[in-house]
Structure formats: structure tokens, C-alpha cells
Chains A and B, each alone.
Chain A
Amino acid sequence: MKPRVETPPGTRVVASALGALPFNLLCASVLCVLAAHAPHLPAWYTAALAGLLAARWWQRRGRHRRVSGWLRLMMLVAIPVVVTLVYGTPLGQQPGAAIVCGLLVLKVLESESTRDARMAVGFACFILMSALLFDQSLGSTILVGAMLLPALATLRALEPGLPERGWLRAFRPGAVMLAASLPAALLGFLLIPRLDTPLWGSPGNGAASTGISDRMAPGDLQHLLTDNAVAMRIGFDGAPPRAAERYFRGAVLWDFDGRSWFPGVAATRRRSPVPVRILGPTVQYDVTLLPSHQHWLFALDVPIDEPDAAQMGPDHTLWSIQPINQSVHYRVASATQYRLAPEELPRAVRAAALALPDGFDPRARALAAAWRAHSGGNGAAIVRDALELFHDGGFAYDLEAPPLGRNSIDDFLFDTKTGFCEHYASAFTFLMRAAGVPARVVIGYQGGYWNDFAHYLLIRQSNAHAWSEVWLPGRGWVRVDPTAAVSRVVLAGTGAAGADVAGDGGNWWLPWQDRLDVINRWWGQTVMGFDTITQARLFRPFGIDHASAQILGIALAVVVFLALGAGALLASLRPRGKPLDALARAQLRLQRRLARLGLVRGSSEGPRDFYLRTAAALPGQALALQELASEYLALRYRCCEPPPERIRVFVRRVRQFRPRRVVK
């Protein structure tokens, strides 16, 4: 049999050309990388890179002319420039992902040798993993794991010994290795001490991505109301509250500048929560809140205690000291029937709840003044007047609200009369303040979908909602939902504030969707929610209340040691081939030394073929190698029982032999 690699004497091994199968697999791997990053990159950018990849594939398949180095150099410069132009900065997660995806495709463009392909695959694996920085849900984790397979198959195809048409055979070792690495991954997940904040907490992945923000201007919520992503999941201790009571309080907005509402100074002023009188039974529940990058924790209206690591504001909002950058899990109690600050309103708070900017919306002010005069300052009557206006005044609920001018409230109330929750909440609160009734805006979530399979309430971003609270003497802060006056049917039906949630209505696949969401919830709570605190509690069953990093490290070492021990035991129990004799050991030693110079003997390569090859590669020592080889062959294959004295001489000579490579 001829040796596979012929090395001319005195030269280094040159990079070998890339075959068709590894190249196709490499293209598939890179396509997977682009697919994994497609959700958070501009569609045209991904399409352009995919097109470039397809062109490269076509070029190599048809043996057309390659893209010149100058053009590649220009693309290398163009990619960061384009990304900077699109994102405004080359830094941050999304611009970074866009740049590395582009560089990867450029690498494929120039890959012609196996060495290039190996580098490209390593790079591709890294970029593939970085897709998990954007989305760590169960689905995308499994998807990214599966997308590793083409990359592993490429590595396999780059090794010799696979037929050109070995697509499927190339995939098998990678799949087996991936499956075999799962226990190690689980071990690392459980026991490697984790950081309080993620390493990749780089700037630039800020609040803009998901969730309710702490300011509200007309049209702000629009993108949320069409977003079907999960915001939080809530499991109740007893029966869930009635659909009409499912208001989850987030932020309270006090200040209005003529267009936007802000939390304002009243919210941040250090005061204890206003007293609350509980009228009915309280509700205990667990919330799993997905990352919102905000400080607000959401609780059923109105929370009466505060979870760990959060504090309650004077307006009964829950505020976390750390922004919610990872999924959090907390437990709260709420009262659905309550009186909030019924006795009196401090003067400063009253002033804040009546403050309006001057010079805006004269018509609305006039209308409010008319109501005030008509009702004689009776708050409840004014509220009724306002709700009647929304109900009978020809108002329409529509997510496609027309743009509003400088006097946004006037425009909405008297001209467009079309909008969604934030328009109504904003206009209503303005009217109340103008009519002398203390009022504020509350934003949060309303409604939700009850998962009947696992008994929890699923709140999506599309459940985002804004409503108002007015202060009435003797009744305190009363929740008024002006949107409900307009679109009562929508609110009573699916529970969402008019968003497109048609998928939640009684389809045959609904139970399966429930089950799927149960898995997602488990993933969110158990895997994503496995934080430093949960990890520290890992050894509670063994009597260790708080496992420090040292204890975790020791545990990791113990488990690894036990696993290695078990593996060694199993290996020792397996039947082994015949033990090596002195001659074989000496020959192995010689082969190891030659392997260090890159002269590796294939397991099926004949000894004479191998030594001929090594002698050709090491011309300076060809004679010494000849001697050793001929002696080995004579001892191993000529003599049926080689004399021990000759074996000893051979062993000694092998020990003294030092192969050296002389590079020309």
C-alpha cells in the first residue's frame, strides 16, 4: 500500500487543496450562521451575504474565475463602513454580529485550502454561539445546537478517509460527539461558578429592544402591541383573579410635558407607600419576568408587599435596584379590592397630580372646565362625563393611529378620535387634571392568556396597556380604564388590549401550544433562571446552605475525578489486545519521536512504507533510519523468535536516536 502523504525531502508539508465535499459543507455551515443571526440583522444585509455565499459556491462549482484579491480587500473595508452607517457605531452586539458575519463570508470567498476551511469553521462556530447572546430561549438554543452539526461535519470531511459522496457519514461523528458532550455541558452549567452580571453586558443592547419603557408618548406602545413575545408568566396560589381584575401595575407616570408622560419626581421621592385598606381576600402568586432592561417589576393591582431585592414606591409600584437584564423570578401578594390612600392627599402629591404644562390644548381645557362647572367639582361625576364622551363621542380603537400635532390631546379628542390605550389614558388623565381631579397614568400589562394545562397566566408584550388612576375623596386612588369605554368587547374577550391575539382563540392546537409554553416556562425558570442564588442553594440537600465558589470548584473536581475513575475502570474491564513486547514498545517510541516532526504513521501503513517515507523526509538521517528500520523488520518479520540480545541492542539504539528536521 502506498503511503497517503508523499513528502518531498527537506520541505515542509504544504496546505492541501480543499475538496468539493468539505467546501459544500463549509458553505452549509456558514449559511446556518447567517440564518441564526438573521432575526436581529437587517434582512437586506443577510440576503446580500447569502447571495455572496451562493455566488462563491456557484463560482467554485462551475470553476469560474475567482473574485480578485483587490475586490475582496474593498469588501473588507466596506463591511465595517456599511455597518457603522446603518447602526451609527461599530460597537455593540448587533453591529458586532453584522461585522463578523460579513468577515466569515469573506473568509469563505478566499478559502481554497483545508487550512483555510479549518479556520473558517472555527470562526463559524464562534459566531454561531454568539447568536445565543441575542436569544436564549429553548427553541433557539436547540436550533443553534443543531446548526453546529454542519460545522462538525465539515471538520470530519476535512479529515482523510471519507468518500466524496459521504454527506451523511460526515454528520455522524459530530452528532455523536455533540450528544456525548451533553453531560459535560450539564456539569459545567451546574457547577462552574457564575458571575452576577453577564460578561457580555456590553453597551448598546439597551432598553430599546423589548418591554415597556418608563415614558409614554403617543404611538410609543404601538410596536409592543403587535409583539407576540412573552413578557412574563404568573402562577397563582389559588384561583386566578377575574379577567376584569387582571391589571398588572408597572410604572406610574406623573409628569406631562404636553406630549409625553414621565415618572417624574413624585415617584422617586423617598417616601413610604401610601396606606392601603384591604377590602377582600388577597392573592399570592409567583412571577417569572423575562428581561425587560428596565427597573419595574410588575404586580397585580395593587401589590401589598415587596419581593426580595425590590422596593415599593409611594405609588405602589415595585422597583428593582438592578435593571432586569436576566430573567427574574419573584413572589408577591396583592389585593384586588382595596382603598388606596382614601383619607387624604398630601398637598405636594395633589399638586403633582394636577400639574399641567401651560400653553397646550386649549379646547380640552375648556371642555374640562365646562364639566367642572356643570358637576360642581364632583370628581365621580366628571369621570362619568369623560367616559360617556369616549363611549358616545364617536371614538374608535385602532392601532394605526393618525399622527398628532403640537396640541396632541386636542387633536385626538376633537379631530382624529382614533387611537389606542395610551391615547385614551393620556387624554383622560389630562381632562381630569384640567377639571381639577387628581389623576395619573399607570402603564403595565392587562389581561393575559390562561394556560389551562399548567395553570398559569401568560402575559405577552401585546398585553401592554395604559390606564389612569383618579383620586376621589373617600375612595382614594381609583383605577379608571378609559380604553374600556371605547372597546369594551375587545377587553372582555381575549383580555388583550385590542392587539392581534387571534391565535389564542379556541383552535384545535391550543392544548399543544399550552404544553409547548409549559416547556418554555420550565426552560425560563429552571435553566435561564439558574442564577448565582439558585446555584448557591444547590447543595442544600447536603447541608450546605450557601455554596461558595470554592465549594463549587471542589464539587466540580470531585465529579470530574469520579467520572474519570469510572471511565478508567470501564476501560480496564474491557478485553484488551495482547500486551506490547519490548520490540513494539521501542518501535512506538521511535514513531512518537517522528510524529513530533509531523511524520505520523497511519495505523494501517506498513512499517517499511513508513520508514521509507520518513527517510525521504529526513534526508540527513536517512541512513540511521534505514538501519533502525531494517533491524526492526528483521526482528519482527524475519525471525520467529528474535534473540533477546538483539532486541536489547535495538531498544538501546532507538533510545539514542534523535530525529531532527532540517528545513531547506
Chain B
Amino acid sequence: MPFPEGMQPDRTLQPMLSACDGESVRRDWARIRPSATCGIVHFLRESGFRHPMDQSVVTATEMPAPERGAPRHRLDAALAQVNDVLVGKNLAVRMAFACLLAGGHLLVEDVPGVGKTTLAHALAATLGLSFRRIQFTSDLLPSDIVGVSVFDRESDSFRFQPGPIFAQLLLADEINRATPKTQSALLEAMAEGQVTVDGASRALQQPFFVIATQNPLDMAGTYPLPDSQLDRFMLRIALDYPNAEAERRLLTGEDRSRMVGRLSACLTGADIQALRLQVRAVTASPALLDYVQALLAASRRHHEIRTGLSPRAGLSLLACARAWALLGDRDFVLPEDVQAVFTGVAGHRLIPSRSATREALAQALLESVAVE
């Protein structure tokens, strides 16, 4: 060995190597690392010793101070708060935050009663955003969403009555119960952050974040979302049933709606905007871009996929991976970040040519592409 084992400053490694599901990895490292060596390292560093390799190591503290600090700290608190309400759904909550930070919209798909709406409520309360909820039904009309111009007798003119879409966090509950026409009313708002009524475009307040929930398509009374609409959701997640331990906590714990009512805002709209800027600054090296491109290319020539991933999907994938890296307290993207968000980003965009499930296809794509 060129220098004594354990020379490496330990603090710097942990955040850098921490995996997507941080807990388990931290546990792993804690088990592996002999505590004695940490002392040596500490001693060496304190005595001003720096190995040539040391400079290469990226330390979390070396990140520019203004970008770190308060929002980052509050982000962790926000994550913890939502995780408190949604027991045992750490990965899904993290995904939702990644989607928010990447500037996308979230689609939550699962059977009724697993906590879709609770997630949206908890997020709204935690993020401190103005919150509106639309319950989609089969007789909902586009004007019910975007608003309508009514004639004002006093001013002798039409006055725009804004619809519920004029909010920062919009929960579109059971979106696939509405007709495609109504679903499409969300399109412009989601893509461009503005709505156009009677020829006048009105900008929505930023950040604008849509959480849509939908029931699985095989349930009665649902209209499948058009592919174009699906493509506008950056991430699709499923909540799934809780495991036994989480379910027990759920059964014995406090009523969730009361918990949500008690939540306080951990972040502000400005914090979110600042964090979104940080996400955009996360480094994606040429090697990583190669990997993303290889995934996109593989999706377009896979024999079981009728329509591969669009360039928009590629942008979403990269943005999500960046946000994921930031949530992992890193300022550069690793292939593992891409892999962590890939199924969520690509799953609903792949159109299979045969009966294979979209998730299985996404997994097969991941396994078919080599990582450097």
C-alpha cells in the first residue's frame, strides 16, 4: 500500500458514496469501517498532513457556501416530515421530492387507499405552497379547471374568474376519471406554466407543481391518459402496500389527516426555486451523458418496445438524476442516480409491442446497457 490504510478522510467519503437508499448504505459503511482508523485519520488531518490523493476527494463542505446552507438543511427537514406521515414510503417520498426539484410533475398510480392523496396533502403542507385540489369526475369540464370569463355588469366587461389551476401545488385526484378533453386542459399549464383563456395567456405562479393520482387502468370507469399527456409527467411512482412493520405503525399511530393538519411549512417557494437552481448546477460528466444516451438509444431499438423514449424523456431523465444526486448530497451525477430514477421516468413512456409490462421493460433496458 502506498500509504497507511485509513489515511483517507472519512467524512468526505460517506456522502459521496451514499447510495440511493441512504439508510442501508450508511449502515453498510458503518459496519465495514473500523473505528480505530477514523482516529488515525482525524489525528493526521489535525496535524496538517495531506496526502496527494486527499486533494482529489470531493468534500461536501467544499461546495460553494451560498448554495448550501439553509435551503439544503430545510430540505432534509421537509423530507423527514413527509416521511413521518407516510410511514415506510421513503423511496416514493424521495422520488416525489426529486420530481419537484427537477421541475417536473408527478403521477402517482396505485389502487385506492394506499396514501396517494395523503402524500399530496403532506407535500403541500410541508412545502408551504398554495394548494388546490381538483377531484376529477367524468362530467368535469375544462373550464372547471382553468376558470371562466364572466360578464361583470358594473364594469360592463368580461372578468376572468380564475379556476383552481391557479395554485402552486395542484392535486389532480383520480385524473383518469375525467374525459380526455378535460385531461388535456392540464396540458398547457403543465408544459408551459401558463393558461390561455379567451385568447389571453395568464402565467401561473412559480413554482407550479402538479401531483396527479390515478387508479390502475383496469378499474371500472377510467379513461386512459393519452400518451402525450403521460409524457408530460416527469415521474410516475406507485406507492404499493406498506410492509408489516409500517402497517402496524399506521394502525397504532395517530390519524393521518389530523397529522397533516398539524404539519408546518419547512420550505418556502423561494427555497424551492433556489434548490431548483442548485439541481441545474449538478455536474453531468461526458461519461454520464454517454450512459444516458446509450439508455435512450437502447429504448429505441429494443425489439419489444414499439415507441422508444423521446428527447423530452431524455431531458426528464437527466433532470431527475440531477435532483436525485442533490438529494444524495452530491454535486455530480452517478450512473446509480440514473438507474434509481429510470423506471419512474421511463416506465410510463415506453409503449410495449407485446404483453410485457412497462416496468419489466424498463428493468430489461437497464440491464442491457453497460455502465462505465
Contact = CB atoms under 8 A, between A and B. Distances in A.
B13 A636 contact: no
Given A1-B336, A606-B371, A624-B5, A615 B32 contact: yes
B6 A609 contact: no
Interface stretch (B194-202, B249-257, B285-293): B285-293
Nearest to A604: B367
Given A1-B340, A646-B56, A636 B287 contact: yes
B56 A623 contact: no
Interface of B: 1-2, 5-8, 12-13, 16-17, 19, 25, 28, 31-34, 37, 52-53, 56-58, 283, 285-288, 331-336, 339-340, 366-372
Given A607-B336, A623-B8, A637-B334, 13 more contacts: A584-B372, A587-B372, A604-B368, A604-B369, A607-B372, A616-B28, A623-B6, A630-B8, A630-B12, A630-B58, A631-B53, A640-B283, A656-B2
Contact of A623 (B31, B33, B288, B368): B33
B339 A612 contact: no
B37 A636 contact: no
B333 A627 contact: no
A653 interface: yes
Contacts of A611: 17
Interface of A: 1, 9, 161, 584, 587, 602-609, 611-612, 615-616, 619, 621-624, 626-627, 629-631, 633-640, 646, 649, 652-653, 656-657
Contact of A633 (B12, B16, B37, B286): B16
Contacts, number: 114
B339 A656 contact: no
Contact of A604 (B5, B28, B370): B370
A13 B34 CA distance: 23
Contact of A637 (B1, B6, B285): B285
Contacts of A656: 1-2
A628 to B, nearest CB: 10
A446 to B, nearest CB: 63
A373 to B, nearest CB: 95
Contacts of B340: 1
Contact of A1 (B6, B17, B28, B366): B366
Given A1-B336, A607-B334, A631-B53, A637 B287 contact: yes
Contacts of B13: 626, 630
Contacts of B19: 608-609, 612
Contacts of B56: 631, 634-635, 646, 649
A9 B29 CA distance: 12
A291 B3 CA distance: 75
Given A606-B336, A623-B37, A630 B285 contact: no
A152 B13 CA distance: 45
A630 B32 contact: no
SS class, residues of chain A in contact with chain B:
helix
Given A1-B339, A612-B19, A636-B285, A627 B8 contact: yes
10 contacts: A1-B366, A161-B367, A612-B19, A623-B37, A630-B13, A630-B16, A634-B16, A646-B56, A649-B53, A653-B53
B52 A649 contact: yes
A612 B285 contact: no
A79 to B, nearest CB: 44
Considering residues A9, A622, A634, A652, which has the most beta carbons from chain B within 10 angstroms of its beta carbon? A622
A659 B366 CA distance: 29
Nearest to B290: A578
Contact of B371 (A603, A615, A623, A630): A603
Contacts of B371: 603-607
Contact of B17 (A608, A635, A637, A649): A608
Contact of B5 (A603, A605, A623, A633): A623
A605 B291 CA distance: 12
Nearest to B21: A2
A653 B28 contact: no
A607 B19 CA distance: 11
Contact of B57 (A9, A619, A634): A634
A586 to B, nearest CB: 12
Contacts of A623: 5-6, 8, 33-34, 37
Contacts of A587: 372
Contact of A640 (B25, B286, B369): B286
A535 to B, nearest CB: 46
B28 A612 contact: yes
B58 A638 contact: yes
B37 A603 contact: no
A178 to B, nearest CB: 23
A639 B332 CA distance: 9
B332 A637 contact: yes
Contacts of B25: 612
Considering residues B32, B57, B366, which has the most beta carbons from chain A within 10 angstroms of its beta carbon? B32
Closest 9 CB pairs of A and B: A606-B336, A638-B332, A1-B339, A603-B370, A622-B32, A606-B335, A627-B8, A604-B367, A637-B285
Contacts of B332: 634, 637-638
A235 to B, nearest CB: 52
Nearest to A652: B2
Given A9-B32, A606-B371, A640-B283, A630 B57 contact: yes
B366 A626 contact: no
A629 B333 CA distance: 15
A302 B113 CA distance: 98
B370 A639 contact: no
A616 to B, nearest CB: 6
A401 to B, nearest CB: 67
B17 A630 contact: yes
B50 to A, nearest CB: 14
B298 to A, nearest CB: 10
Nearest to A588: B372
B267 to A, nearest CB: 27
A656 B1 CA distance: 7
Nearest to B367: A604
Contacts of A638: 58, 283, 285, 331-332
